[in-house]
Amino acid sequence: MKKVRDWFASAFNTNVLQKSRMAWVDYLRGIAIILVVYRHVLLGIGNSGMILPSAWLDANIMFFSFRMPLFFILSGIFITGSLAKKSLGRIIYSKFELLLYPYLIWSVIQITIQIAAAHWTNAHRTPKDFLYIFYQPKELDQFWYLPALFNSTIIYLLTKSKLKLHGWMQIILGLTLFFLSRYCRNVSMMSDWMEFYIFFAIGDTISSFFFRGNVQAFLQNRWTFPILFPFFIATQFYYLHLYDTSPGNDVPLALFLPIALFGCLTMCTLAYRLQAWNILRFLRVLGYHSLYIYVMHVIVAAFVRVILTKVFGIHQPVALLLIGITLASTIPVMIYNLFIFEKPLFFLFSLRRYAKRPSVSQKTSKLILHEQT
């Protein structure tokens, strides 16, 4: 039994639960990454020709209103802290290693697998799809987020440190970029970061008062989440209505922005509640490993779906969805901890090999950068 516990602790790196960390951040990342996995497992099942309940598809649309903005806001909240500790050049290099390097490696891996396994998968890839890596990441399933966050971060760093754009000036720039992004969609390497830059800017702007005592008291109050939740549900259904009725599904920014921000706020208060109750701690483990889940989950989900349908003959959408989400969320964590980190395959995520797992006090660690940026 001890060997099983030790293996489980190693495979999921459960030591992260014992560290002095901001648990609410991992809870938030865990919630967001589960919603990302839900989307791609659901779409994989639908693209296989199975009929899905409309409620599942509607939920996927509603989650989009706050799911990706949440990632950008979280990154923005910690960017000023990074600037205070590191030089601009070091941060840019760290961002390249953390975001762009895995994007380049894993997009090539995923496209290669999809071409090789074309007979069993839903993807219709050709060698020409490798070109999408450089200008159209939206065509590469989940991968658009990594270059979008990298580009948003670099542009934000340069405009803040070199052009001295702060606060409301960054918000105005973000709003301008959002509107312009809709005219650049044939090159999503541009439009993706332009669309979400506003949320990164909002994250940095609120960071100056986010950790104040009165704000933290509001977020951590046991009544805040239950009071906000009914309004959250109402705004999500309103977003679904707007999405269905807007030309090209382009929800007006004046409506999308407050809905997204309210959704992020509600999820933040939920994360603080989970932290206070110290429950569903697996979300913290998933949140800590969210980057690795993000790049691998589509490959794992496709493999699981093929095995379940072709080998075991399981075609019930509910079973495929639940099993798919569970395994697509956990197998990447196990792969990373057992075969990549501190192992010969470290190069799949990093240009450098760490001799041991860094502690929280090692501020130059890539893992700490992953937590706070």
In a domain, 70, yes or no: no
In a domain, 373, yes or no: no
> Has residue 52 got a pLDDT over 50?
yes
As a whole number, the mean pLDDT across the chain is: 91
> Has residue 104 got a pLDDT over 80?
yes
How does pLDDT run across 112-145, given as a tens digit for each residue? Answer: 999 999 888 888 899 999 999 999 999 999 999 9
Nearest to 286 by CA among 323, 321, 318, 326: 326
Pick the more confident residue, 361 or 300.
300
How does pLDDT run across 202-221, given as a tens digit for each residue? Answer: 999 999 899 999 999 999 99
> Has residue 362 got a pLDDT over 50?
no
- Please provide the distance, in angstroms rounded to a whole number, between the alpha carbons at the two ends of the chain: 38
Q: 149-153, 181-185, 306-310: which has the minimum mean pLDDT?
A: 181-185
Domains in the chain, number: 1
Q: What is the pLDDT, as a whole number, of residue 372?
A: 39
Nearest to 317 by CA among 63, 57, 46, 39: 46
In a domain, 61, yes or no: no
| Arithmetic mean of pLDDT, 320-339 | 97
Q: Encoding tokens for residue 351?
A: 């240009």
Q: What is the pLDDT, as a whole number, of residue 352?
A: 80
In a domain, 279, yes or no: yes
Range of the domain at 292: 24-51+221-340
In a domain, 47, yes or no: yes
Q: What is the pLDDT, as a whole number, of residue 230?
A: 98
Between the alpha carbon of residue 7 and those of residues 12, 18, 286, 326, 334, the distances in Å are: 9, 17, 17, 19, 10
In a domain, 347, yes or no: no
In a domain, 355, yes or no: no
In a domain, 214, yes or no: no
Q: What is the pLDDT, as a whole number, of residue 373?
A: 35
